[in-house]
Amino acid sequence: MPVPVLILVIILGAPTALIAFMAVRAALVKPHAPPEREVSDLGIDKNALAAHLAGAVQIPTVSMADETYPEKPFFDYKEYIEKTYPLFAKAAECTVVNKYSLVYRIDGSDANLKPACFLAHIDVVPAPPEGWDYPPFGGEIHDGFVYGRGAQDMKCQMIAVLDALEFTLANGGGLKRAAYCCFGHDEELSTLDGAPEIVKYLDSLNVRPEYVLDEGGVMLDGGPLGVDGTLALIGVCEKGYMDVRLSRKKAGGHASTPAKPTALASVAKAVCNVERKQLPPVWTAPTIELIRELAPYMKPLFKFVMVNRDVLSPFIKFALSKLHPISAALVKTTFAPTMAKGSDAANVLPPYAEAVVNCRLIAGNSPETVLAHIKKVAGRGIDVEVINRAVPASKISPADTPSYVKIADAVRTAFPGVKVAPYMFIAATDSRFYYPICDNVYRFSPFAYTEDDQRRIHAVNERCNIDDLKKATEFFVRIIGDTCL
C-alpha cells in the first residue's frame, strides 16, 4: 500500500478506533451490587414520632436577623427534649454552650473508640402566619403530615436522631462507642455563636470524633444524570458562601430628564454581566467520584459519555453546566442575584443603587478569586464589596472510610433500591466548622422529599411526611447499631 494511502487510512481510522475503544470501555463498566442486608420492621411507632415532632414544632425557636433570641423557647426546647426522651436524658450528660446550644454525651463502654457525633440545629427561620393552611407553630397533623416551621428544616432530623437513641437504649442497653449530639442554635443565621463554640468546647476536651453526621445530603430523582430511580447523595464537603454587593452612586433627579446611564441602570447591567460572564466549570474530586459511582447505572448514552469523561471533559462540563440547575451547581460557582434597591419613588432617579449577588463557591474557586472575577466583569464605575462574611468551600472528607461505608449501607437498608454516591453539598451547614476536630464529616438527610415539599422549606406550609420520619428514624437506628454497639 502506498505511503500516502496508508497515512490516509490511519488518519481516517483513528477516530473510529477511538470511538470503538470508548464503547468497549463503557461496556466493561458494570453495576457492583453491594451486599444485601435483611430488612425488617423495627417496630417503631410512627404516631409517637409524629407526636414528638409536633411538640418540637410548637416551640418557636426562631433565630432573628438582629441576632437576638427569645430566651424562653430555647430553654423550653431543652426541657422538652429531656421530658420526651427520659432514657436519653438519663444516659446523657448535657452541657449548655453559649447559653442556647446543647451538647449531649452518652458514654461508651470502650474508651478506646472515638465517639460518633450527630448534628442538628435548634433554630428555625421566622414564619409570619399569612398564607399558611395551619398555624406555623401549631404542629398540627393532617393527612399523614406534621405541619409547621421546622418540620423539615430541621427538627425532623433531630427528632429522628433522638428517637433512634431512645429506641436503642430501650432495646439494647448501653453503647460501646460514645455518642455526642450537638445541637447549635444559630445555623439559620450563619453566625459564629453556635457550632464554632461547640467545636471549641469539644476541642478543649480533646474530643476527636470518628465521624460527624449532619443534614445536607439529599435523595432525588436520578433522571437529570441519566439514572432511573432515586439517588441518595452523601455530602463529603460543601460549597463556600459569599454575598457580594454591587453599587453605584450618581446624581439623582427628576425621572423626566434622565442622564444615561442612571445609577440603577448601571447596577442592572453589572448584574447581567455577572450572570452572563461566569467562571468556567471545573471538576472536583467529589463530582468525579459521583460520576464514577453512578456511571454503571446510567442509560447507555449517558454511560458512554461519563465513563469517557477524560476524553470528553470539555463537552461534559459544558453540558452539565446547562443541563439542570443541580448539575450546574456541581461543576461551577453559582451567582444568584437576590436583592436590589433603587429609588423610593417611581418618578425619582436614585442617587444610589445597589444589588446583592449570592455566590456559592465550588472547591478551587477561593473568595478572592470570585471577588476578582466579579470586579472584572461588573463594569466601570461599579463598586464591588463583600458583605457579611465570606466562607470558602470546605475540606473534602474521604468516601472510603469505614464510617462512610456504614452510612452508605444504612442508606441502602433504609431505602432499598437507591443508588448511593458521594457528592459536594451545594448549600451550607454547621458541619463545616467540625473539620478542626474530625476528618470524616458527612452530610445526609434521610428524607425522600418531593419537589413540592422541597419548595416548602423556609416557605409557607412546611411539613414532614410521617412515613418518611419513620424511615429516617430507622436509618439512624441502623447507623447507631452499626457504629456504636
**How far lies 360's CA from each of 52, 217, 241, 330, 428, in Å?**
35, 16, 5, 11, 9
Q: Give residue 26's pLDDT.
A: 82
pLDDT at 185 over 60: yes
pLDDT at 72 over 80: yes
Nearest alpha-carbon partner for 379 in 223, 291, 273, 289: 273
Contacts of 183 (CB under 8 A, 6+ apart): 101, 102, 103, 104, 119, 120, 121, 122, 158
Q: Verify whether residue 187 is a known catalytic residue.
A: yes
Q: Which of 46-50, 220-224, 294-298 bottoms out in mean pLDDT, i.e. has the lowest?
A: 220-224
Burial class (CB in 10 A: 0-12, 13-18, 19+), 460: middle
% the chain with pLDDT above 90: 78
Q: Give residue 5's pLDDT.
A: 47
Query: Across residues 338-345, what is the average pLDDT?
Result: 94
pLDDT at 106 over 50: yes
Q: Give residue 69's pLDDT.
A: 64
Q: How confident is the model at residue 297 (pLDDT cuts 50, 70, 90)?
A: very high
pLDDT: which is higher, 18 or 60: 60
| Catalytic residue of the set 123, 166, 214, 430 | 123
Return mean pLDDT, the chain.
92
pLDDT: which is higher, 243 or 326: 243
Q: Find where cell 407526636 sits.
A: 51
Query: Across residues 456-471, what is the average pLDDT?
Result: 96
Q: Give residue 293's pLDDT.
A: 95
Q: How confident is the model at residue 173 (pLDDT cuts 50, 70, 90)?
A: confident
Contacts of 420 (CB under 8 A, 6+ apart): 231, 232, 233, 234, 293, 408, 411, 412
pLDDT at 291 over 60: yes
pLDDT: which is higher, 388 or 290: 290
Q: Please, what are the domains in the chain?
A: 46-216+429-484 (3.40.630.10), 239-391 (3.30.70.360)
Query: What predicted TM-score, i.e. pTM, was given to this entire model?
Result: 0.92
pLDDT: which is higher, 243 or 70: 243
Q: How confident is the model at residue 24 (pLDDT cuts 50, 70, 90)?
A: confident
CA dist., res. 179 & res. 483, Å (int): 10
Q: Give residue 10's pLDDT.
A: 53
pLDDT at 221 over 50: yes
Q: How confident is the model at residue 209 (pLDDT cuts 50, 70, 90)?
A: very high
Q: How confident is the model at residue 8 (pLDDT cuts 50, 70, 90)?
A: very low
Q: How confident is the model at residue 1 (pLDDT cuts 50, 70, 90)?
A: very low
| Catalytic residue of the set 153, 187, 188, 293 | 187
pLDDT at 92 over 50: yes
**Is 426 within 8 Å of 330 (Cβ atoms)?**
yes
pLDDT at 12 over 60: no
Q: Give residue 253's pLDDT.
A: 87
Q: How many CB atoms lie within 10 A of CB 263?
A: 23
pLDDT at 322 over 90: no
Query: Across residues 159-165, what is the average pLDDT?
Result: 98
Q: Give residue 68's pLDDT.
A: 63
Q: Give residue 67's pLDDT.
A: 60
Burial class (CB in 10 A: 0-12, 13-18, 19+), 443: buried
Q: Verify whether residue 123 is a known catalytic residue.
A: yes
Q: What values do phi and psi take at 96, rounded to 5?
A: -90, 125
